[in-house]
Amino acid sequence: MPTPVYDADSGTRAGHNELGRLPEWNLTDLYESPDAPEIKRDMDWLETACTDFARDYQGQLATLDAHGLLDAVLRYERIEQIAGRIMSYAGLRYYQITTDGERAKFMSDCQDRITTYTTSLVFWGLEFNRLEDDHLNSLLGQSQDLHRYKPVFDRMRAMKPYQLSDELEKFLHDQSSVGASAWNKLFDETIAGLEFEVNGETLSIEGTLNLLTEQDRSQREAAFHGLATVFGANTRTFARIHNTLAKEKEIEDRWRGLPTPQTGRHLANHVEPEVVEALRNAVVAAYPRLSHRYYRLKAKWLGLDRLEVWDRNAPLPTKDDRLVTWDEAERTVTEAYAAFDPRMADLAGPFFAKGWIDAAVKPGKAPGAFAHPTVTDAHPYVMLNYLGKPRDVMTLAHELGHGVHQVLAAGQGELLCSTPLTLAETASVFGEMLTFRKLLAEAPDPKARKALLAGKVEDMINTVVRQIAFYDFESKLHEARRHGELTPDDINALWMSIQAQSLGDAFDFAPGYETFWAYIPHFIHSPFYVYAYAFGDGLVNALYAVYEEGDPTFRDKYFDMLKAGGSKHHKDLLAPFGLDASDPKFWDKGLSMIEGFIDELEAMEA
């Protein structure tokens, strides 16, 4: 599908013409258009391939030799690749304009057909998990090519104690397109369609949230009230979505025998519950040393006795309020990557040059930012809502890090490239750190250095403290939902119960803030995803400390880690760096970097 490049002056807010030309996705590397003959060809192939796979292998896995099982794995992998290409194309088109009925229909129709075709494959994981351990180990020992897929098999077999009957698993698979995914789409479309009135101007959610980082406090307050008014008016819808999804999860977890609402996420992330608990406890214990201390400093800088929630992301009074053009953002991030290793910049180059980034804010576009890996015989795409703020430059560095990681991991193939969420943030947060260190080194004076340090501390607090607070909110919500329907007021109360604890005594919480749980997409799309951000930040802080120690082999080991994708456990990936995430002291190392930045900021006040 040929796509134009958006000029920033066609954006949704005045002043965007200062940003330069903002790129839009070119999705033709996947398919030319929704009615391209290649889509029909691939859909037809997929239908036949799924039918043939079930005919050839259902009830037969226990009889296969190593060569036969490898052939089955390779055929299954190809099916995943073709289905992934179709859904990547449909999804990326949809997220460009979620309010477009044709795009929504196209994605839903693709999802429905693929769900129908792949129902015949449900037996694969169930029957595979019934193979005897000794038999499977024997086959793995006979074929190195088959043994390469052992991490995939390990993740499959981790679900063995929790799998249901073949019939029930098929039912859940068939029902999925009208279950969680339908509620996900309702959430996305509702959020994208919301309009917010701020000082006589009608804005999207991205434009309104952006105002919370304005220098003018009255603008921030007006944006807050605009958000609170609309969230409050829609809270019944958002509460219904949360109630339904949490109950659906509770029912499925109960049938599977999963001991906690978080267990499924831990299994998917291939991380031990005690490691996540150690991370959570370390961060909560550090709240007073991190967020509480920092926000007391911030209140002083802003000349306020108390902060309001619309001051949380306010820039410092000394901060340069100019907009960062797209060309400058590209140059800054690319140079930071190149200074670490020219290979990083080379990998990032095609994202800018070949239409792999969609940057402009547009009506109906999904909020936030992400990097989508698509499939291993294509390439990733990055979505941004670029408004020219310094934080947007860091978001570019973050998402581009994901993209570089996904390009490198693609060599593992479709089944092994996907990185668990806990490790998926590694390259993204590292890319942010490289960009920050470059800007800090180039700071022209102490005021500029202070603004950069404060901005980085706030980003790290948002990545670590706030995400663990989100994790605690989700934990409370899912536990409460087990005991009955939750009213909007119930959810509001759960939200507020963790806010003062995480943000500290410098804050007041204006009426309306209790509804701000409503717009956070991770709660809807990926329950308990959020701790991965804190995991990734702590991991990268520890990695960066090793890098600063001057290990001459660090870069090669770092690239090897990214190339591994999902083929290794976090213990094996971190071992070459002398790190171990299962050691509770590991998390204190990462948190100490944030403390060090706050120490430096406090010293500037002396």
Q: Quick one: what percent of the chain has pLDDT higher than 70?
A: 97
User: Chain-wide mean pLDDT for the chain?
Assistant: 92
pLDDT band at 197 (very low <50, low <70, confident <90, very high): very high
Contact 22, 359 (CB under 8 A): yes
pLDDT band of residue 17 (cuts 50, 70, 90) is: low
Give 605's contacts (C-beta < 8 A, 6+ positions apart).
297, 300
User: Residue 375 above 50 pLDDT?
Assistant: yes
Q: Going by C-beta distance under 8 Å and a sequence separation of 6 or more, which residues neighbour residue 234?
A: 190, 194, 518
Residue 4 has pLDDT above 50, yes or no: no
The region, left, alpha or beta by phi > 0 then psi within -120 to 50, assigned to residue 319 is beta
- What does the chain come to in residues? 606
pLDDT for 345 equals: 97
Four-point Cα dihedral 295, 300, 305, 307, nearest 10: -30
User: What average pLDDT does the segment 394-404 reach?
Assistant: 96
- Average pLDDT on 376-403 reads 94
DSSP bridge pairs for 371: 382
User: Is residue 583 helix, strand or coil?
Assistant: coil
Cβ-Cβ contacts under 8 Å for 337 (sequence gap 6 or more) = 344, 345, 348, 400, 404, 431, 434
Of 38-42, 336-340, 400-404, 448-452, give the lowest mean pLDDT range: 448-452
Of the candidates 185, 207, 212, the residue with the CA atom closest to the CA atom of residue 195: 207
Instruction: Go through 305-332 and write b for each residue having 16 or more CB atoms within 10 A of its CB, e for each that does not.
Output: eebbbbbbbbbbeebeeebbbbeebbeb
Quick one: pLDDT at residue 278?
A: 92
Of 47-56, 167-176, 203-212, which one has max mean pLDDT? Answer: 47-56
Q: Which among 48, 4, 44, 53 has a CA at the least distance from the CA of 26?
A: 4
CA count, 13 A, side-chain hemisphere, 459: 22
pLDDT of residue 319: 64
Q: How confident is residue 423, by pLDDT bands cut at 50, 70 and 90? A: confident
Name the residue type at position 475.
Answer: S
pLDDT surpasses 90 at 368: no
Q: Identify the helix (H) or strand (E) that includes residue 414.
A: none
Q: What is the pLDDT of residue 177?
A: 76
Give the mean pLDDT of 181-203. Answer: 93
The answer to which of 15-29, 325-339, 535-549 has the lowest mean pLDDT is: 15-29
Given a cut of 50, whether residue 6 has pLDDT beyond it is: no
How would residue 258 be classed by pLDDT, with cut points 50, 70 and 90?
A: very high
What does the alpha-carbon distance between residue 180 and residue 358 come to, in Å, rounded to a whole number?
27
Residue-level pLDDT at 589: 82
- Ordered by where they begin, the domains of the chain are 31-178 (1.20.140.70), 183-319+465-525 (no CATH), 326-462+531-566 (1.10.1370.40)
Amino acid 545: pLDDT: 87
